[in-house]
Amino acid sequence: MRTVLEQLEQRREDARMGGGAGRIAKQHEKGKLTARERLELLLDEGSFEEYDMFVAHRCTDFGMEENKPAGDGVVTGWGTINGRMVYVFSQDFTVFGGSLSETHAQKICKIMDMAVRNGAPVIGLNDSGGARIQEGVASLAGYADVFLRNVKASGVVPQISLIMGPCAGGAVYSPAMTDFIFMVEDSSYMFVTGPDVVKTVTNEIVTAEELGGARTHTSKSSVADGSFANDVEALAQMRRFFDYLPLNSRDGVPERPFHDAAERIDNSLDTLVPDNPNQPYDMRELILKISDENDFFEVQANFAKNMLIGFCRLEGRTVGIVANQPMVLAGCLDIDSSRKAARFVRFCDAFDIPLLTLVDVPGFLPGTSQEYGGIIKHGAKLLYAFAEATVPKVTVITRKAYGGAYDVMSSKHIGADINYAWPTAEIAVMGAKGATEILYRSELGDPDKIAARTKNYEDRFANPFVAAERGFIDEVIMPHSTRRRVCRAFAALRNKHVDLPYKKHDNIPL
């Protein structure tokens, strides 16, 4: 008996060594942790339950039958993060460069199937040279099996990808179909075709980092939702991020202990909006000041900075925030910010995360680049996403809410539940100057007349009361009491229920 136990322990020990001490040392030299070290940091201590530790590939070509490391380059199983269940896979670069074989894919598929059945999120730690070259089409089939599961699990359980090394070729499409992608700076990259192919085909000379590093994907392509300096920080932030997420589409938002009174007032908010309507202010300040313990997990912080998205908590419960940022492009809606916010709104709606929308928007960004780029279609994404979302929706207009952008930014008309405005709100078809110049074109030669007309328009429309008179705004609130008002609004909406007519699925403008 004893010998059998010892044999098991020995086999386990061999499996834990992955590709061997030499390759582990190489991994460390690159500043990267091993697949198992990463899981130790991601999961609660001692919570990891591993599956398929002894799975080995079945390839017999290229002498592979002589080299069959236990586990086949990926560590899979489940564990907990602050006590809440999560399924995980962590690719082991020390085993055939973390490349994906038929059996490696089967291990990932197994835990994805379990995650869907048992209603827990999946976090994938990606560090892989792509398709296992020795296996050919069997490896491609394995990728497709994972892709199919990514799609089937979408909207059922949250899926998060952390890119911690190479992720190239068709392999990028599994993370691309998950809900969030985060990257580690300087040690991870994602591209469909690498620098060598790019050079051959287009003559462009570009490094892997420029083509698909964290900076590129967080600021240019928006493929990634955030990046972190190293493995340790990335894994710590994943634990923080995970705490905001529901476990599945039926579970509702997590409730965490909080130490911040819902009634807390903040007098500094009364002077947040400058007297000069053309002067910017930082909307992030409002978000921080109304959130529990001033804690905001921002997503896509370096892309389309005219729109802020991310998670906060109100009375311990997760809320998704969508906010115009007047500091950048005056908070205008454009193609990038519309796409960014639309996808976020849809994630929140899929997982029953209530939405708080903070509005200061002078309209859509004008210009040929926007029109040629399809702002009509991309702007429609955000309009569509807000309108179809059935989660509790609360909107606060702090200053400008002009034109179509007023309608789009979770207005009462497209289904927001509670709409508040600060006394500084200006809800109108457009700014007073623009409006006057169109209405009184014949008087443009007379500056005094135009100034008087502008003043008149401002007095009439540059306020929240015209909208409030019609009930489009439920209440004009004091800025200092915003936290209390939105906490109470969400509390009142906890039992919100919407019945929808049957449809197979919608047809959002993609």
Length of the chain (residues): 510
Single out the segment in contact with ligand HXC by CB under 6 A; choices: 128-136, 149-157, 418-426, 434-442. 128-136
Catalytic residue list contains 142? no
Q: Count the site residues for ligand HXC by CB under 6 A.
A: 16
- The answer to whether 166 contacts ligand HXC (rule: CB under 6 A) is yes
Q: 191 vs 406, which CB is nearer to ligand HXC?
A: 191
Handedness of CA 360, 365, 366, 372 (dihedral sign): negative
- The answer to whether 438 contacts ligand HXC (rule: CB under 6 A) is no
Write down the least CB distance from residue 466 to ligand HXC, Å. Answer: 55
**Contact positions with ligand HXC (CB under 6 A) in 133-152:** 133, 140, 143
Select which of 405, 416, 435, 462 is catalytic.
405
- Least Cα distance to 467 among 435, 408, 409, 420 occurs for 420
Single out the segment in contact with ligand HXC by CB under 6 A; choices: 105-113, 165-173, 443-451, 458-466. 165-173
Residue 318: strand pairing partners: 313
Select which of 404, 415, 434, 452 is catalytic.
404
Catalytic residue list contains 79? no
- The single residue among 131, 245, 290, 489 that binds ligand HXC, judged by CB under 6 A, is 131
- Least Cα distance to 122 among 109, 132, 141 occurs for 109
Q: 74 vs 489, which CB is nearer to ligand HXC?
A: 74
Select which of 18, 77, 97, 169 is catalytic.
169
Answer for the pair 449, 440: CB distance below 8 angstroms, yes or no.
Answer: yes
275 burial class (0-12, 13-18, 19+ CB within 10 angstroms)?
Answer: exposed
Write down the least CB distance from residue 112 to ligand HXC, Å. Answer: 16
* Number of other CB atoms surrounding residue 349 within 10 Å: 20
- The single residue among 15, 108, 171, 385 that binds ligand HXC, judged by CB under 6 A, is 171
**Contact positions with ligand HXC (CB under 6 A) in 19-38:** 23
- The single residue among 24, 105, 164, 168 that binds ligand HXC, judged by CB under 6 A, is 168
Catalytic residue list contains 304? no
- The answer to whether 229 contacts ligand HXC (rule: CB under 6 A) is no
Show the binding pattern over residues 73-112: x = contacts ligand HXC (CB under 6 A), - = does not. Answer: -----------------------xx-x-------------
Q: 196 vs 499, which CB is nearer to ligand HXC?
A: 196
- DSSP E strands in 142-261: the ranges are 159-163, 166-168, 180-184, 189-191, 226-228
Task: Determine the Cα–Cα distance for residues 128 and 19; give it in Å rounded to an integer.
Answer: 13
Task: Determine the Cα–Cα distance for residues 293 and 311; give it in Å rounded to an integer.
Answer: 13
- The answer to whether 129 contacts ligand HXC (rule: CB under 6 A) is yes
The continuous run of DSSP H or E covering 77 comes out as strand 74-81
Task: Determine the Cα–Cα distance for residues 498 and 389; give it in Å rounded to an integer.
Answer: 10
Catalytic residue list contains 169? yes
- Least Cα distance to 320 among 391, 217, 272 occurs for 391
Task: Determine the Cα–Cα distance for residues 189 and 207; give it in Å rounded to an integer.
Answer: 10
What are the residue numbers of the active site?
169-170, 404-405
